[in-house]
Structure 1
Amino acid sequence: MPEIPVVPALWRFPAHPASVGRARHAVMEALPYGLPPQLHAELGFITSELVTNAIRHGACADADEVVELVLWPTDGHYWLAVSDPGPGKPAVDHRPSPDTESGRGLLLVDALADAWAVVPRPYRGKSVVAGLALPSPG
């Protein structure tokens, strides 16, 4: 009999700045006890950055749009996908101006995640997917 895979955790939040903290809290609560504190912190940070970007650049709060999160462990990683209905494709600015107050989030996600990508959704929008490696048992 095949092993039943872990069912991903799924949340939908209004495209509103107050959803960033709620999303981060939901992800932190979904993580199992015993994960290293650094993995908790990095997943929390990546959640905050990707949800913030989705709300600012990919969704319209006036249109009652939502941001969707999916969290799942597989292949030795914790994967987080943050989806929004917007058409744009986020990209890393490798040389943000020292005077700007924003624009560094994806640069930090790029530094923390073992892998990340922007994946188009079949009908509308995109998902930004980031993976963090689980520590090796030992």
Structure 2
Amino acid sequence: MPEIPLVPVHWRFPAYPASVRRARHAVTASLPRALRPQLGDDLCLLTSELVTNAIRHGTRREAGELIELVLWPADGHYWLAVSDPGTGRPVLTRPDADSESGRGLLLVDSLATAWTIRPRPTCGTSVIAGLSLRRGG
């Protein structure tokens, strides 16, 4: 009989800066306690970057839009998908040393074992990033 996977954890947050902290807390609290020392800091940082980008670039606060997060384990990784209703596509850039922004996806690229950008079936965009359970060992 095949192993039955865990049901993904799903959240929706309003497109407000305070949602970044709430999202970090929700994701970290959902990670199994035994994995927090191994994945907690990096997962928290990925959550911060992706949620911040979704709020800044993928939503219109005045329209009451939401961002969505899904967290699930699969194939030796913990996966985080952050989705927004925006039509734009995030772009990995290489800002110069004097730039005050533009490093979020560089950080995601550095931390994640794998990541991608996918259009959503109805509208919007999802950024999906995975952290390997076999890191550092």
TM category (shorter chain) comes to over 0.9
Alignment of 1:1-138 (within 5 A): 1-35=1-35, 37-93=37-93, 95-135=94-134
Identify unmatched segments of 5+ residues in structure 2.
none
Alignment root-mean-square deviation, CA: 1.4
Deviations 1:101-129 (A, max 9, x none): 11001001001101100000011101000
TM-score scaled to structure 2, two decimals?
Answer: 0.94
Q: TM-score, normalised by structure 1?
A: 0.94
> How many equivalent residue pairs?
136
Alpha-carbon deviation of 1:135? 2.2
Q: Displacement of 1:37 after TM fit?
A: 2.0
Give the distance between the partners of 1:37 and 1:102, measured in 2 at CA. Answer: 29
Distance across 1 between alignment mates of 2:6 and 2:36: 20
Counterpart CA distance in 1 for 2:74 and 2:63 is 34
Identify which range, 48-57 or 30-39, moves more after superposition: 30-39
- Deviation per CA, 1:75-119: give whole Å up to 9, x if none: 0000000000001110111x2022221100100100110110000
Is the 2:86–2:125 contact (alpha carbons within 8 Å) kept by the matching residues of 1? Answer: yes
CA distance in 2, matches of 1:38, 1:104: 24
The SS at the match of 1:127 is strand
